[in-house]
A = this chain, B = another copy of it.
Amino acid sequence: VAQLSGVSRATVSYVLNATPNQSISEETRRRVLDAAEELGYTPFAPARALRAGRSEVVLYLIPEWPIGPNLAQLVEVLTLNLAQAGLTLVVHAHPRSARPVGDLWKTIAPAVVINDQVLSAGEEEAARQAGIRVVVPGFAIGGGTFADFQREAGRRQAEHLAACGHTRLGYALPHDERLAAFAEPRLEGVRQVCARLGLGEPDTRVVPLHSAAAADTVEHWHRAAPRVSGVCAYNDEVALALLAGLREQRLTAPGDLAVIGMDDIPAAALAFPPLTTLALGMPELGGQLATAVADTLDGKPVPPGPGPDAIRIVRRNTT
């Protein structure tokens, strides 16, 4: 580009980056711009990164659990929002048995790492020391940390069931052990509500995604004394399994057992009967996360997250 426009590489750099405190004659500017256009010039990111010590990349580390529809949507929203801020989102799913990612940031050199339950506190601190900004998806709802948020979600489920008049609750854990990081705090939230309302411990069972297994659990709850009349499912899929189990037992929701799911996946609305669930408002959460990333980069304080409205009960026919 410098050759074609007959100026030095430095000048080209000034023009293309609109460097402040540099007065460039309009004519030179035009020449450079035209030349760049003509050559289809695009700055070479690795070189930029080498010079700057970091890239324009945001590394989103997602942990070793299945990528569900919610996370997928979050990624979508994030990609879009960050693109508007000139940042490229790099998602690194971290499946179990892949090599450790503790220092993946060293080799990628992103401007920001979004640490979603992947980096330990120590690793996170190491990254910070190296000048990498670290953002934790701090949904301000429920307190600020990941677990706070999950707990709050569990609380909402339980509160809904309690408001419907249920006095003994069950909790349906997922069979997939990788989901423990979600399931534990959610269950804890349910426990908190039960304790606060004097309802007694929730009756917790692991529910695989098979109708036969779910049927057993449903029967167990139905025969328990006192009877479990309402159950919080870890997510919509588990809830769907419960509904299948109910059908197998010729029981019905919400009469014999009320069920509330979580995530509001498309299948929830189409279930039989249509499933009451908790919508997690990924567009809001994603937008907030994008803002947090951009603000962190600018050195601004991270803004408070979205309001509690980002978690909504979607009431259908199972409660």
Contact = CB atoms under 8 A, between A and B. Distances in A.
Interface of A: 40, 42-50, 55, 66-69, 71-73, 75-77, 79-80, 83-84, 88-95, 97-99, 103-104, 106-109, 209-211, 236-237, 240-241, 243-244, 247, 265-267, 269-272, 274
A270 B68 contact: no
A222 to B, nearest CB: 19
Contacts of A272: 243-244, 247, 271-272
A270 B240 contact: yes
A264 to B, nearest CB: 12
Most buried by B among A94, A107, A244, A274: A107
A11 B99 CA distance: 27
B46 A109 contact: yes
B79 A72 contact: no
Contact of A270 (B76, B103, B109, B243): B243
Contacts of A40: 103
Contacts of A89: 92-93
Contacts of A103: 40, 42
A43 B108 CA distance: 10
A5 B222 CA distance: 70
B67 A210 contact: no
Contacts of A79: 92-95, 98
B49 A46 contact: yes
A271 B77 CA distance: 29
Number of copies: 2
B67 A76 contact: yes
Given A46-B55, A46-B109, 9 more contacts: A42-B107, A44-B106, A67-B69, A68-B69, A88-B92, A88-B108, A209-B266, A237-B266, A271-B272
Central interface residue in A40, A79, A104, by most chain B CB within 10 Å: A79
Contacts of A94: 79
Contacts of A104: 88
Contacts of A236: 267
A74 to B, nearest CB: 10
Contacts of A48: 46
A239 B124 CA distance: 44
B237 A44 contact: no
A199 B237 CA distance: 37
A237 B267 CA distance: 6
A45 B211 contact: no
Nearest to A71: B72
Nearest to A236: B267
Contacts of A67: 67, 69, 72-73, 75-76
Given A244-B272, A267-B265, A270-B240, A80 B109 contact: no
A45 B84 CA distance: 25
A47 B83 CA distance: 24
A43 B107 CA distance: 6
